[in-house]
Protein backbone atom coordinates (compact mmCIF):
# COMPACT_ATOMS: atom_id res chain seq x y z
CA UNK A 1 0.00 0.00 0.00
CA UNK A 2 2.78 2.39 0.95
CA UNK A 3 4.65 1.76 -2.30
CA UNK A 4 1.51 2.48 -4.32
CA UNK A 5 1.07 5.75 -2.47
CA UNK A 6 4.65 6.48 -3.41
CA UNK A 7 3.83 5.98 -7.08
CA UNK A 8 0.77 8.20 -6.85
CA UNK A 9 2.93 10.91 -5.27
CA UNK A 10 5.42 10.51 -8.13
CA UNK A 11 8.32 9.95 -5.75
CA UNK A 12 9.62 6.86 -7.58
CA UNK A 13 12.26 7.58 -10.18
CA UNK A 14 11.45 5.70 -13.36
CA UNK A 15 14.23 5.03 -15.84
CA UNK A 16 13.37 5.85 -19.43
CA UNK A 17 14.73 5.35 -22.92
CA UNK A 18 13.51 8.76 -24.06
CA UNK A 19 17.02 10.16 -24.57
CA UNK A 20 18.08 7.20 -26.73
CA UNK A 21 14.86 7.30 -28.70
CA UNK A 22 15.23 11.03 -29.24
CA UNK A 23 18.73 10.57 -30.57
CA UNK A 24 17.56 7.77 -32.86
CA UNK A 25 14.83 10.01 -34.25
CA UNK A 26 17.19 13.05 -34.28
CA UNK A 27 14.85 15.07 -32.12
CA UNK A 28 15.64 17.83 -29.65
CA UNK A 29 13.92 17.98 -26.26
CA UNK A 30 12.08 21.08 -27.46
CA UNK A 31 10.74 19.30 -30.55
CA UNK A 32 9.62 16.24 -28.59
CA UNK A 33 7.98 18.44 -25.95
CA UNK A 34 6.05 20.28 -28.65
CA UNK A 35 4.86 17.00 -30.20
CA UNK A 36 3.69 15.41 -26.94
CA UNK A 37 2.16 18.55 -25.42
CA UNK A 38 4.58 19.41 -22.64
CA UNK A 39 7.58 21.64 -22.00
CA UNK A 40 11.30 21.12 -22.62
CA UNK A 41 11.92 21.32 -18.86
CA UNK A 42 9.52 18.44 -18.21
CA UNK A 43 11.24 16.26 -20.82
CA UNK A 44 14.60 17.09 -19.18
CA UNK A 45 13.25 16.17 -15.73
CA UNK A 46 11.86 12.86 -17.02
CA UNK A 47 15.15 12.03 -18.75
CA UNK A 48 17.24 12.69 -15.64
CA UNK A 49 14.70 10.74 -13.53
CA UNK A 50 13.75 13.71 -11.39
CA UNK A 51 10.12 13.57 -12.42
CA UNK A 52 7.87 10.66 -13.35
CA UNK A 53 5.50 11.35 -16.21
CA UNK A 54 1.78 10.90 -15.69
CA UNK A 55 0.07 7.99 -17.41
CA UNK A 56 -1.30 10.32 -20.08
CA UNK A 57 2.08 11.89 -20.87
CA UNK A 58 3.81 8.50 -20.79
CA UNK A 59 1.22 7.21 -23.26
CA UNK A 60 1.70 10.23 -25.55
CA UNK A 61 5.48 9.81 -25.54
CA UNK A 62 5.28 6.07 -26.20
CA UNK A 63 2.70 6.57 -28.95
CA UNK A 64 4.85 9.23 -30.60
CA UNK A 65 7.73 6.74 -30.90
CA UNK A 66 5.34 3.96 -31.95
CA UNK A 67 6.12 1.88 -28.86
CA UNK A 68 4.30 0.67 -25.76
CA UNK A 69 4.73 2.43 -22.41
CA UNK A 70 6.76 -0.52 -21.04
CA UNK A 71 9.18 -0.22 -23.95
CA UNK A 72 9.90 3.43 -23.15
CA UNK A 73 9.68 3.39 -19.35
CA UNK A 74 11.47 0.86 -17.14
CA UNK A 75 9.21 -0.27 -14.31
CA UNK A 76 11.61 -2.84 -12.83
CA UNK A 77 12.24 -0.69 -9.73
CA UNK A 78 8.51 -0.42 -9.08
CA UNK A 79 8.15 -4.18 -9.38
CA UNK A 80 11.05 -4.70 -6.94
CA UNK A 81 9.48 -2.54 -4.22
Partner 1 sequence: MEKYRQEIQNQVRTGGIIIALTIALFSTLHVFLYPKITNPATTTLVGYVEGVIMGLVAVLIIQMFVRGKALKDETALRKLYNEEHDERAQLIRQKAGEPLMAITGAIITTAGAVCVYFNTTVSYTLMGAGLFVILVGILVKFWVSRKY
The backbone region for 61, taken as left when phi is positive above 0, alpha when psi lies in -120 to 50, beta otherwise, is: alpha
Choosing from 7, 12, 19, 45, the residue that interacts with partner 1 (CB under 8 A) is 45
- 42 is an interface residue for partner 1 by CB under 8 A: yes
Taking CB under 8 A as the binding criterion, the range among 21-29, 50-58, 64-72, 73-81 that sits at the site for partner 1 is: 50-58
Q: Which residues bind partner 1 (CB under 8 A)?
A: 10, 33-34, 37-39, 41-42, 45, 50-51, 53-54, 56-57
Amino acid sequence: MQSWLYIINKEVAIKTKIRELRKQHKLTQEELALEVGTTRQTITSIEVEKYTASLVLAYRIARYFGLSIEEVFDFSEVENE
